[in-house]
Amino acid sequence: MADQGETILEVRNLAVKAGDRLVLESVSIDIAAGEVVAIMGANGSGKSTLGFALAGHPRYEVVGGEARLAGADLLAMEPQDRARAGLFLSFQSPPDLPGVRNNLFMRTSLNSVLEAQDREPVDAFDFLERAKGIAADIDLPAAFLNRPVNEGFSGGERKRNELLQLAMLAPKLAILDEIDSGMDVDGIRSIVETVGRMRAQGTAFLLISHSLAMVEAMAPDRVAELDGGRISRIGSLDLAREIARTGFSRTRESIEG
Amino acid sequence: MQSEAANTNPVALQRVRDQWIPTRTELFRHLRPPEADTWLALPASTADESTAWVAKALGGAPGHTGPRLVIETDPQRLAAALAAVPSTQLDEYAPLADAHAASCTGFACLRIDAADNGGMLRIRRRSDGMRDAPLLVVEVAAGVDFTLVEDAGSQATGDPASAMTRNALTSIRVGAGARLRHLRIRREPPANAIANRTVVEVDANGRYDELTLAVGGEYHLERSEIDLVGEAARAESVAVMLAAADQLEQQVEVRHSAPGTRSRVDILVLAANKTRVVVNARTTLPRNVPGAIVDQALHGVPTAGHPRIVLRPHLEILHDQVEARHGATWGALSEDALFYASQRGIDPVEARALIVDGMASALVASCVDDPALLEQAGFASALLDAIAAHVGRKPERA
């Protein structure tokens, strides 16, 4: 696990296209171990694009800039290698994997990451013990471990399943894309507690959310506003409160002005 | 009824050649079988019919050896057995059936009675020749629940992987209130030409569940003709077809000949490279059979390259009181699902294998939802190995 204060993510002038559209023009941001940075922005401002681009989704083309994860060139890596290097993306809409058992999927994932770190893979028995413990912590019934990944899950159950994988993989950097959407109050509490525990162990977080309550609950070190394909403002929790009070449109007008 | 056994009768052989499948037939429109001599001219097996069949009981009561396989080579009995095979749904397949009859020299008969209830039997066919035309006749007595595993592939029997042709026929009668799970593991070496025909009749309240894994062969045809002859009879035909360097066809003909009958055909095709795969599913509901329920679903998934997948669902409904669903879907593996797995650190080949295995396993469980039985039958491991080979992954047991 990274030392507190060590820079985990360094993004410089990142430019990203989705199809023919330049969604991110020039994004620069640093996140240190144990830090939480909240990204806010209007719909379509490129928050999810930033997450997908950093994770290496083939639909998003990086056309400029650089990104490093714990000093390594993130953009030179394949998506699976970014994950093995310690980048975790919690999906806004996690897809179904029909017929693929959750426990098999997660154990394959965990062992891929462990093997990349020259660590011993876990066997099915040890994995199940560990998974059941984490599932209990986040109020996800153990029966979900034996169900196909996300198939028939409610919105909140999908997000809890993301949280389960996050806690299992213990990444260096976690990008949480609207992890609170679809979650009930108990789910929100699970997120806050899980993030709190992992943060104390050095995991850095990039939180994407529209909810002031969620942002406040996560007690971010910084809040950044994404607009016009750039980080338009960066500040403390007060910035999130201001955005909640005044909305994004006013901010955009002020930039355009 | 189809042709009588002609064995090596040159007149019969010539008749098969003369009446071979024409260039333009609806049934074989997209994938034509090899010419007649492929099925007739290669050197036949010299093995004794009694040693060509290997049966092993896999379940049932302790000490019970399972149903006995009776071998018949008497020409008259063979002719009678062939003549007794129902041919109402033979259609344009008749030349291949005639080629079988012309080459068949004996048959195995399996009678499953009350003492075998709850049991499982695995049957394998061994051949030392380049041409084989086996006939298996199965009768399941009324009220008996049984699982039959047919492991037909040459690879599975340890036979040399030299090219051979197999034109096989299995005839099954499921008695009233009986249930037969028929697990068919068809793994063929790349150069083989294979035509497996299964003819099934299901009596009142009987149930026939056919689960097929079809892999390999230069030309590989699996054909099932299922007739629900008794009231409230049920049948399912579920298949996973994996094609990476071959031509594969599945034909399923279901006829609802009695009221209140129910059928389901669900076939998943996973094809890669330049393979050609055809699925023909036809379900017929005559005028005088009310209350039938029919479900037909065909799925084609190209896993790599540019395979040609033809899915042909047909329903012929001549009665108003019917509940019917059918459809065909064709689409690549979900890019989002593949990325999701990659984002969790899973290698792309492994991700493909997981997703394909998930799709196939879900389909298999929809027909036989008994993991222990599938494992004991060897079906689960055969499926896992076939998928690993298909996506290029090293086989691994979960």
Q: Is residue A50 part of a domain?
A: yes
pLDDT tens track for B97-128: 999 999 999 999 999 999 999 999 999 988 77
| A83–chain B Cβ distance below 8 A for any pair | yes
Q: Do A116 and B345 touch (CB under 8 A)?
A: yes
The minimum CA-CA distance between A103 and chain B, rounded to whole Å, is 11
Q: Do B359 and A80 touch (CB under 8 A)?
A: no
Q: Do B345 and A98 touch (CB under 8 A)?
A: no
Residue ranges per structural domain of chain B: 10-333
How many domains are contained in chain A?
1
Which token pair is B307?
Answer: 């395979």
Rounded Cα distance between A27 and A45, Å, is 12
Rounded Cα distance between A234 and B215, Å, is 58
Read off the DSSP letter of residue B298: E
Q: Do B354 and A105 touch (CB under 8 A)?
A: yes
Q: Which amino acid is at B340?
A: Y
pTM of the model: 0.88
Q: Is residue A152 part of a domain?
A: no
Structural contact between residues A7 and A32, judged by C-beta atoms closer than 8 angstroms: yes
Range(s) of the domain holding residue A218? 7-95+171-256
Q: Is residue A189 part of a domain?
A: yes
Between B336, B348, B365, which is nearest A95 by CB?
B336
Rounded Cα distance between B221 and B218, Å, is 10
Residue B154: pLDDT band (50, 70, 90) is low
Angle B147-B368-B308 from CA coordinates, rounded to 5°: 110
Helix (H) or strand (E) segment spanning residue B50:
helix B49-52
Q: Name the residue among B155, B233, B225 with its Cα closest to residue B187.
A: B155
pLDDT tens track for A191-246: 999 999 999 999 999 999 988 999 999 999 999 999 989 999 999 999 999 999 98
Report chain A's terminal Cα–Cα distance, integer Å.
Answer: 45
Q: Is residue A180 part of a domain?
A: yes
Instruction: Specify the CATH number for the domain of residue A74.
Output: 3.40.50.300
Q: Is residue A157 part of a domain?
A: no
Q: Is residue A137 part of a domain?
A: no
Measured between CA atoms, the residue of chain B closest to residue A84 is B345
Rounded Cα distance between B150 and B165, Å, is 17
Q: Is residue A80 part of a domain?
A: yes
| Chain A residues inside the 8 Å CB shell of B398 | 104, 124
Q: What dihedral do alpha carbons A96, B398, B217, B171 form, nearest 10°?
A: -90
Q: Is residue A67 part of a domain?
A: yes
Structural contact between residues A138 and A194, judged by C-beta atoms closer than 8 angstroms: yes
pLDDT tens track for B199-229: 999 999 999 999 999 999 999 999 999 999 9
- pLDDT, position B394: 67
Task: State yes or no: pLDDT of B156 exceeds 70.
Answer: no
| Chain B residues inside the 8 Å CB shell of A116 | 345
ipTM, two decimals, is 0.94
